[in-house]
Structure 1
């Protein structure tokens, strides 16, 4: 009987450890707080998305915003964790002429299909290397250094496509209730920031919660 005690105790300890791990995993996956009007905000009226049938997770940002640069690793984490029914997008905010130049560059890079290559590089140039970009031509020259066709890039800058996207951004950002960056919009319905979530790690968890909440609502229809 006494010989069996170590085995029994070991089994009990393993059971306790497993329960503790389950509780830890549940806590880690749950948002710290998810209260409407406090941690996230309803957008009234909801705004249309560009993600088709998928739930859109939209980061409103600017390359000129140091907070967006700090947030970028968390944006990458959000993208990596999104389920197949959701899609991550960027929307450059335009609060002044400098921000418009960066937004124009973003849309040029998007049109050329080089965002994956240049997105982090621009953040690094502006906020890590403190490179002086005094005009759009300075920004275009930097993209040329990244292997982007400078001539095509410059031509796109004033194209109907880019102009239309800039106009959409100027119109949409106020409708989303965005007054600072970075801000995350879930499916045109919910708005959340690092401050409202309680920090960027909590924001990642809150976005996951709201994506699943929206998916459940759509599935119930």
Structure 2
């Protein structure tokens, strides 16, 4: 009898666990549905955008959870990082990111830039300081500086600022799924929960096709 009771209790706990795991998310709670959807950069794919700032400690803390998730995304999901630029050093760091991305080296040095600011106490607040730092990572200093000051990078900065306005963001890190749904670590309940919200919204968009 004791074994039967124990087995029944385990079954109940299992069912409860499955129920909790399958709990659905709701607009207005874990995420916000944008009133005006923003076009995605790669039509035909489900886009996930992260808006971030290199100087943001919450963005830095989110990285170890976010990056392994990015690496496992299926082929129909396109992940994009966009620097949030609210003026001052936000814009300078945004220009840094866009420069590195334009040079095709962002993936190799992204973590090192975060570490330099949050672990090593570097400001990376001027073009020369940035150029000297990325040169230690194998990035050509002169090419970095010419790209940093180029019209192409400045154009990408303006585009990123317009997207942030369209997404109606007020802080970082913030995620946007398919130009329709906005959420962040706080609204979701934590880093892991944020990615669970992302997974559910990706599934929602995939099912709607």
Query: How high is the TM-score relative to the length of structure 2?
Result: 0.89
The answer for the alignment partner of 1:5 in structure 2 is none
Q: Structure 1 residue 156 and structure 2 residue 147: aligned?
A: yes
The answer for the alignment partner of 1:42 in structure 2 is 33
The answer for the alignment partner of 2:135 in structure 1 is 144
1:117 to 108, 127, 132: 108
The answer for the alignment partner of 1:133 in structure 2 is 124
Q: Hey, what's the Cα distance between the residues in 2 that align with 1:100 and 1:175?
A: 17
The answer for the alignment partner of 1:3 in structure 2 is none
Q: Is the CA contact (8 Å cut-off) linking 2:127 and 2:148 kept in structure 1?
A: no
Q: Is the CA contact (8 Å cut-off) linking 2:92 and 2:126 kept in structure 1?
A: yes
| RMSD across aligned positions (CA) | 2.3
Q: Structure 1 residue 208 and structure 2 residue 199: aligned?
A: yes
1:179 to 158, 170, 175: 170
**Structure 1's 151 and 19: CA in aligned 2 closer, same or farther, altered over 3 A?**
farther
Q: Hey, what's the Cα distance between the residues in 1 that align with 2:14 and 2:139?
A: 48
Q: Match of 1:191, SS?
A: strand
Larger Rg: 1
Deviation of 1:112 (Å): 1.3
Q: Is the CA contact (8 Å cut-off) linking 1:77 and 1:204 kept in structure 2?
A: no
Q: Hey, what's the Cα distance between the residues in 1 that align with 2:19 and 2:141?
A: 49
- Aligned residue pairs total 206
Query: How high is the TM-score relative to the length of structure 1?
Result: 0.84
- Segments of structure 1 that go 5 or more residues without pairing to the other structure are 1-8
Q: Which has the higher helix share?
A: 1
